[in-house]
């Protein structure tokens, strides 16, 4: 119930303040240092933009079309890229799947970034998340014997309230099975 109430509150805030989220996003875009030089102020503007994008997409999931179309120019650095993908992650549209697939393909040779990809898959609230997690287990970049990969996918899944705590117990069973499997070769994991 807590999770449902929280989601309902966030949905209400997103819809009610949609014009403000758009305006704050525009202001943050003007303030942000586009050449990506780290400074606390620039980091704050990037964080604000990511929050605004998340609320805009929560209020208007169809906005994902515009995001997908402009993704290349919007994703100027990993902070932007992660923010955009986190914002679209829960939207049940093919654009989300395409953007995540592009991300995985782009960073297939970067193990740390692939951990982010697996975390996105495992944190998703969509109804097809269990199937996507099963597919991620077969992904060439995933290896249960790699503690970082296991934590990225399975550890993140354990914090996915609607799926891990599914009323039928399948989230608990899934994670218990994976823990037993990992325990055979890495008990400390």
Is the pLDDT assigned to residue 35 strictly greater than 90? no
Q: pLDDT for 137-174, tens place per residue?
A: 999 999 999 999 999 999 999 999 999 999 999 999 99
Q: State the Cα–Cα distance between residues 137 and 48, nearest whole angstrom.
A: 33
| Phi, psi (rounded to 5 degrees) for 141 | -85, -5
Is the pLDDT assigned to residue 80 strictly greater than 80? yes
**Environment class of 175 (CB within 10 Å of its CB; exposed 0-12, middle 13-18, buried 19+):** middle
Residue with tokens 């995001």: 67
* Pair of tokens at residue 101: 């697939």
In this prediction, residue 41 carries a pLDDT of 87
Is the pLDDT assigned to residue 33 strictly greater than 70? no
Find, among 119, 123, 114, 44, the residue nearest to 79 by Cα. Answer: 44
Find, among 144, 141, 79, 78, the residue nearest to 111 by Cα. Answer: 141
Q: State the Cα–Cα distance between residues 182 and 189, nearest whole angstrom.
A: 7
Q: State the Cα–Cα distance between residues 84 and 78, nearest whole angstrom.
A: 10
Average pLDDT over residues 17-21: 97
Q: pLDDT for 52-73, tens place per residue?
A: 999 999 999 999 999 999 998 8
- Is this prediction's pTM over 0.95? no
The lowest-confidence range among 5-9, 15-19, 70-74, 125-129 is: 70-74
Q: State the Cα–Cα distance between residues 171 and 114, nearest whole angstrom.
A: 23
In this prediction, residue 36 carries a pLDDT of 67
């Amino acid at each position: 119930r807590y999770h449902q109430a929280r989601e309902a509150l966030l949905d209400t805030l997103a819809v009610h303040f949609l014009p403000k989220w758009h305006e704050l996003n525009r202001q943050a875009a003007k303030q942000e240092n586009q050449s990506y030089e780290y400074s606390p102020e620039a980091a704050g503007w990037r964080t604000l933009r990511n929050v605004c994008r998340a609320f805009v997409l929560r209020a208007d999931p169809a906005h994902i079309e515009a995001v997908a179309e402009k993704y290349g120019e919007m994703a100027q650095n990993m902070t932007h890229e992660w923010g955009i993908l986190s914002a679209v992650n829960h939207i049940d549209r093919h654009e989300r799947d395409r953007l995540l697939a592009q991300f995985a393909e782009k960073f297939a040779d970067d193990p740390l970034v692939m951990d982010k990809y697996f975390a996105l898959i495992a944190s998703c609230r969509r109804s097809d998340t269990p199937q996507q997690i099963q597919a991620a287990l077969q992904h060439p970049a995933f290896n249960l014997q790699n503690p970082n990969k296991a934590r990225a996918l399975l550890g993140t899944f354990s914090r996915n309230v609607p799926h891990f705590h599914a009323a039928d117990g399948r989230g608990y069973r899934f994670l218990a099975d994976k823990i037993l499997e990992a325990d055979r070769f890495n008990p400390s994991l």
